[in-house]
């Protein structure tokens, strides 16, 4: 599916889609915004739920809703009955976890994930060390190139934004502590990814 716009989050949608397990029955996109990623996930999962606490984002998402997608206005941090605990085979969170305390965000995402399911986070952090600044600087040329090729950096109007309160190193250490065995990767375009498979019940 060709995206109607490009930005640093949309750039990593292919990484998220590639992480969806084969035979995925139920997927959840947390902080779904206008539903762009959820609609892409609909081709990879039998059913998809998109949740966002922004009324405006959910309004935009519901203007284009395939039959196997449900968009809900709500907060994944709450114990809402509309988001069943341990239900989802795949949970994605793109530019979401930094809007809350990292530990609270990750704990809530894990709670929603089914045993044996997969979590995929695309996160943001800030530069703290000299190496951080060097790596971030390496993202400038590809960002400018992609902007030119994709018609500029854009997103849905009304999308809530917030800066991260964690450095790259802090995010990496917290992810590895909370999600043992996860794959944490620092990316260009000022993002990192975390992929983690939840153990099966009764597993090690």
pLDDT digit string, tens, across residues 53-98: 999 999 999 998 888 999 999 999 987 778 989 999 999 999 999 9
pLDDT in tens, 138-165: 999 999 998 988 888 888 877 888 889 9
Other CB atoms within 10 A of residue 180 CB: 9
Q: What is the pLDDT of residue 2?
A: 59
Q: What is the pLDDT of residue 151?
A: 85
Q: How does DSSP assign 53-64, residue by residue?
A: S-HHHHHHHTTS
The CA distance from 93 to 97, in Å, is 7
In a domain, 22, yes or no: yes
In a domain, 202, yes or no: no
Q: What is the pLDDT of residue 111?
A: 96
Contact 61, 52 (CB under 8 A): yes
For 155: left if phi > 0, alpha if psi spans -120 to 50, otherwise beta; the answer is beta
In a domain, 103, yes or no: yes
Adjacency order of strands within the sheet including 69-73:
69-73, 47-52, 26-30, 88-94, 113-123, 191-197, 183-187
In a domain, 169, yes or no: yes
Residue 113's φ and ψ, nearest 5 degrees, are: -75, 135
- The sign of the torsion formed by the CA atoms of 82, 84, 90, 91 equals positive
The CA distance from 37 to 9, in Å, is 10
Indicate whether 19 pLDDT > 70.
yes
Going from the C-alpha of 30 to that of each of 51, 109, 143, 170, 189, the distances in angstroms are 5, 8, 25, 22, 21
**By C-alpha distance, which of 152, 155, 122, 123 is closest to 56?**
155
In a domain, 174, yes or no: yes
Q: Which CATH number do you get for residue 160?
A: 3.40.50.150
Q: Find the domain containing 58 and state its range.
A: 10-127+154-197
Indicate whether 204 pLDDT > 50.
no
In a domain, 3, yes or no: no
Is 0.85 surpassed by the pTM of this model? yes
pLDDT in tens, 98-110: 999 999 999 999 9
- Would you place residue 14 in the very low, low, confident or very high pLDDT band (cuts 50, 70, 90)? very high
When divided into structural domains, the chain yields a total of 1
Contact 116, 198 (CB under 8 A): yes
In a domain, 160, yes or no: yes
Report, as an integer, the average pLDDT of 130-136: 94
In a domain, 30, yes or no: yes
């Amino acid at each position: 599916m060709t995206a109607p716009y490009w930005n640093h989050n949309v750039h990593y949608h292919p990484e998220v889609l590639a992480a969806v397990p084969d035979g995925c029955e139920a997927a959840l996109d947390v902080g779904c915004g206008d539903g762009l990623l959820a609609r892409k996930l609909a081709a990879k999962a039998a059913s998809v739920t998109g949740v966002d606490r922004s009324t405006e984002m959910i309004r935009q998402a519901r203007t284009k809703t395939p039959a196997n997608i449900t968009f809900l206005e709500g907060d994944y941090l709450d114990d809402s009955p509309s988001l069943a605990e341990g239900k989802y085979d795949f949970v994605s969170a793109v530019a979401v976890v930094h809007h809350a305390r990292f530990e609270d965000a990750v704990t809530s995402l894990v709670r929603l994930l089914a045993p044996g399911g997969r979590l995929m986070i695309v996160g943001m952090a800030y530069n703290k060390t000299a190496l951080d600044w060097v790596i971030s600087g390496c993202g400038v040329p590809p960002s400018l190139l992609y902007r030119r090729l994709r018609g500029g950096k854009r997103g849905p109007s009304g999308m809530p934004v917030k800066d991260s309160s964690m450095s790259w190193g802090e995010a990496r250490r917290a992810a590895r502590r909370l999600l043992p065995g996860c794959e944490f990767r620092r990316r260009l375009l000022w993002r990192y990814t975390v992929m983690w498979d939840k153990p099966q019940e009764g597993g090690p």
